[in-house]
């Protein structure tokens, strides 16, 4: 057992974990309707490749990844695509996003599952496989896993010494990773071995908080049974030890420098649920179609469910029977979660927990008072920041200052707001400042691009003007060169008229040639469908012209 280390700060909120661990993971029955968002991961939304009316099989690709940071989206069951378009999603804004509505046929007919022998496949192929299987980090950030296994520009991945499997699950109420490790430890461990193989890491540490003795025992047994040299580390329960950088600190004593990645210090970490889906992906050939989610709080049946992605949250909540005094739901935990905008949204890869709120469990916070600069937030901050200073700067919208105080090292864990005696919603300020800064950076990028395009346009127009002038001059020179040959006699009036006539003819010919050149070129070699389409458009135009004419003429009659 290697030595454990401490990170700065941290808090001990009541864990509320035992409520939802009494019953095993329950499989939710197939809902009547699934709503599958195309943006379930960090990065760009996937591009739909199916149409309404298409019949899809369970596990069939319905959204192709687009861009570098993106991931695939699959049909969670077999059925018919009813609709593709905007639908409310589980996002703090409550705004709609592009989704596919799938009506299950109840047969659960699978695509052909192909397992992959990962030891005899090139690593790049394995990464592509993960991308196309929609494997993303299930710890909450839903960052595509293939990118974490890829050498990035300016960052190394060659010398990964330690792979960490994150089973800390430090946030109160959430128990989905706990139950997964208790019940499916063998697959988690095998997934960890695949990730270790892909990274070429030497050592594998599995970090689990000591309030989950059953999970620790199950994981130790699985490691032994698989005969792997992994170490299951029992770490003290302290929020937020499950945050990647804090867990790395606890397990290895190394600190990820500001602005760098864990791979820069030879460590990479994955959530245990991600490792589980990696194992399912390679061993069974199953893409990511479901996840385990905790439903707890003010419900009569708090427990964990295995739920198909896209299941409406209302269906899920109904199974746990929320009590009558429930006044709303949280998605995520009580520290970092956000209120669920509506229960008419689907479950996505990021949904790890839904908590029913009642006034008894989550009393309204006391009135917010002015900051007294007591410094308790700085004592609690696990990222070693000065939350009160960040608060003052964010409040004053002094974004440059927030950045120089390392706002982007803030993990939004909420420890500062938890200890604040003035009950200031600190994290809301940090989130506000971060999104404002990101928007400004985006604006700056597009302004730079607009400048570049504008300058190039100016340059191009200048060049075209110059070229035209040069052509004209060359023509004049040529005309002058031919003229002297003709001039031997005195030009007569008829000659001058003929010359003028010739010039007019030349100009006409040139204009005709130019007109011919300007003929659209993309009207040749068309397919019959395109021709039909053109005919249809022409017919429409003729009709419009006809209508316009009759409109104009009508009053005259």
Partner 1 sequence: MLAALLAMSAIAIVLGAVLGYSAIKFRVDGNPLADKIDAVLPQTQCGQCGYPGCRPYADAIANGEADINLCPPGGEEGIQKLAELLGVEPKPFGSDAQPKPKSVAFIDENTCIGCTLCIQACPVDAISGAAKQMHTIIAAECTGCELCLPPCPVDCISMLPLEENVANWKWKYPVYALRPSK
Instruction: Work out how close the CB of 447 gets to partner 1 at its nearest, in angstroms, rounded to a whole number.
Output: 4
Structure tokens, 309: 């992605």
Count CB-CB contacts under 10 A for residue 283.
17
Instruction: Work out how close the CB of 333 gets to partner 1 at its nearest, in angstroms, rounded to a whole number.
Output: 18
Instruction: Work out how close the CB of 356 gets to partner 1 at its nearest, in angstroms, rounded to a whole number.
Output: 22
Q: With respect to partner 1, which residue has the nearer C-beta, 118 or 418?
A: 418
Instruction: Work out how close the CB of 517 gets to partner 1 at its nearest, in angstroms, rounded to a whole number.
Output: 10
Q: With respect to partner 1, which residue has the nearer C-beta, 155 or 451?
A: 451
Contact yes or no for 30/13 (Cβ under 8 A): no
Q: With respect to partner 1, which residue has the nearer C-beta, 452 or 499?
A: 452
Instruction: Work out how close the CB of 365 gets to partner 1 at its nearest, in angstroms, rounded to a whole number.
Output: 8
Structure tokens, 494: 């008829």
Instruction: Work out how close the CB of 198 gets to partner 1 at its nearest, in angstroms, rounded to a whole number.
Output: 30
Instruction: Work out how close the CB of 391 gets to partner 1 at its nearest, in angstroms, rounded to a whole number.
Output: 10
Count CB-CB contacts under 10 A for residue 341.
18
Q: With respect to partner 1, which residue has the nearer C-beta, 68 or 456?
A: 456
Instruction: Work out how close the CB of 48 gets to partner 1 at its nearest, in angstroms, rounded to a whole number.
Output: 16
**Axis crossing angle, helix 213-226 with helix 185-199, rounded to the nearest 10:** 60
CA atoms within 13 A on the CB side of 521: 2
DSSP string, 425-440: -HHHHHHHHHHHHHHH
Q: With respect to partner 1, which residue has the nearer C-beta, 133 or 394?
A: 394
Helix locations, 371-425, DSSP H: 376-380, 387-395, 399-404, 415-419
Rounded Cα gap, residues 293 and 352, in angstroms: 5
SS3 content of the chain, % helix, strand, coil (to 5): 40, 15, 40
DSSP 3-state assignment of 359? Answer: coil
Using CB under 8 A, list all residues that contact partner 1: 39, 45, 89, 91-93, 95-97, 364, 366-368, 397, 425, 428-429, 431-432, 434-436, 439, 442-443, 446-451, 453-454, 456-457, 518, 520, 522
Backbone angles phi, psi at 164, to 5 degrees: -110, 130
DSSP string, 182-205: HH-HHHHHHHHHHHHHHHT-SEEE
Instruction: Work out how close the CB of 515 gets to partner 1 at its nearest, in angstroms, rounded to a whole number.
Output: 10
For residue 409, the 8-state DSSP code is G
Strand order in the sheet with 267-271: 231-235, 203-209, 162-166, 267-271
Q: With respect to partner 1, which residue has the nearer C-beta, 451 or 468?
A: 451
Q: With respect to partner 1, which residue has the nearer C-beta, 37 or 191?
A: 37
Note the residue count of the chain.
557
Q: With respect to partner 1, which residue has the nearer C-beta, 521 or 556?
A: 521
Q: With respect to partner 1, which residue has the nearer C-beta, 401 or 431?
A: 431
With b for 16 or more beta-carbon neighbours within 10 A and e for fewer, the 376-408 pattern comes to bbbebbbbebbbbbbbbbbeeeebebbeebebe
CA atoms within 13 A on the CB side of 190: 18
Rounded Cα gap, residues 521 and 518, in angstroms: 8
Instruction: Work out how close the CB of 426 gets to partner 1 at its nearest, in angstroms, rounded to a whole number.
Output: 9
Q: With respect to partner 1, which residue has the nearer C-beta, 276 or 393?
A: 393
Rounded Cα gap, residues 200 and 21, in angstroms: 35
Instruction: Work out how close the CB of 87 gets to partner 1 at its nearest, in angstroms, rounded to a whole number.
Output: 11
Contact yes or no for 278/135 (Cβ under 8 A): yes
Rounded Cα gap, residues 237 and 252, in angstroms: 17
Q: With respect to partner 1, which residue has the nearer C-beta, 117 or 524?
A: 524
């Amino acid at each position: 057992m290697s030595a454990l280390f401490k990170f700065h700060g941290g808090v001990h909120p009541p864990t509320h974990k035992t409520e939802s661990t009494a019953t095993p993971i329950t499989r939710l029955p197939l809902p009547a309707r699934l709503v599958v968002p195309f943006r379930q991961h960090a990065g760009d939304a996937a591009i739909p490749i199916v149409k309404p009316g298409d019949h899809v099989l369970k596990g069939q690709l319905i959204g192709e990844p687009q861009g570098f940071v993106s991931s695939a989206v699959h049909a969670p069951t077999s059925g018919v695509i009813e609709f593709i378009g905007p639908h409310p999603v589980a996002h703090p804004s409550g705004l709609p996003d592009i989704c596919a509505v799938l009506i299950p046929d109840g047969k659960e007919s699978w695509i052909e599952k192909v397992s992959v022998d990962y030891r005899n496949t090139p690593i790049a192929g394995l990464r592509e496989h993960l991308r196309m299987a929609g494997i993303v980090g299930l710890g909450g950030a839903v960052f595509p896993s293939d990118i974490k296994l890829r050498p990035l520009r300016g960052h190394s991945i060659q010398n990964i010494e330690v792979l960490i499997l994150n089973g800390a699950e430090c946030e109160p109420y959430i128990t989905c990773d706990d139950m997964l490790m208790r019940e499916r430890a063998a697959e988690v461990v095998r997934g960890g071995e695949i990730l270790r193989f892909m990274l070429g890491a030497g050592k594998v540490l599995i970090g689990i908080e000591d309030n989950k003795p059953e999970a620790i025992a199950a994981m130790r047994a699985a490691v032994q049974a698989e005969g792997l040299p992994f170490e299951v580390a029992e770490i003290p329960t302290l929020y937020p030890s499950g945050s990647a950088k804090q867990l790395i600190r606890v397990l290895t004593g190394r600190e990820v420098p500001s602005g760098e990645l864990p791979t820069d210090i030879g460590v990479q970490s994955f959530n245990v649920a991600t490792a589980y889906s990696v194992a399912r992906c390679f061993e069974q050939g199953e893409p990511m179609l479901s996840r385990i989610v905790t439903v707890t709080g003010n419900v009569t049946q708090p427990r964990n469910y295995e739920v198909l992605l896209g299941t409406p949250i209302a269906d899920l909540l109904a199974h746990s029977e929320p009590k009558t005094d429930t006044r709303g739901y949280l998605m995520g935990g009580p520290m970092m979660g956000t209120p669920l905008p509506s229960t008419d949204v689907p479950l996505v890869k990021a949904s790890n927990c839904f908590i029913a709120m009642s006034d008894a469990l989550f009393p309204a916070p006391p009135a917010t008072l002015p900051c007294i600069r007591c410094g308790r937030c700085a004592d609690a901050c696990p990222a070693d920041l000065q939350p009160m200073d960040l608060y003052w700067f964010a409040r004053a919208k002094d974004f440059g200052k927030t950045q120089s105080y390392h706002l982007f090292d803030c993990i939004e864990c909420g420890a500062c707001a938890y200890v604040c005696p003035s009950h200031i919603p600190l994290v809301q300020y940090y989130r506000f400042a971060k999104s404002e800064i990101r928007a400004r950076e985006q604006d700056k990028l597009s302004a730079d691009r607009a400048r570049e395009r504008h300058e190039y346009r100016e340059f191009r127009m200048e060049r075209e003007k110059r070229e035209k002038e040069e052509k004209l001059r060359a023509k004049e020179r040529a005309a002058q060169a031919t003229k002297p040959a003709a001039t031997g006699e005195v030009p007569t009036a008829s000659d001058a008229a003929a010359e003028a006539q010739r010039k007019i003819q030349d100009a006409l010919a040139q204009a005709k040639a130019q007109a011919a050149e300007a003929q659209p070129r993309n009207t040749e070699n068309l397919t019959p469908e395109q021709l039909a389409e053109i005919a249809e458009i022409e017919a429409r135009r003729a009709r419009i012209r006809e209508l316009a004419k009759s409109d104009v003429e009508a009053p005259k009659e």
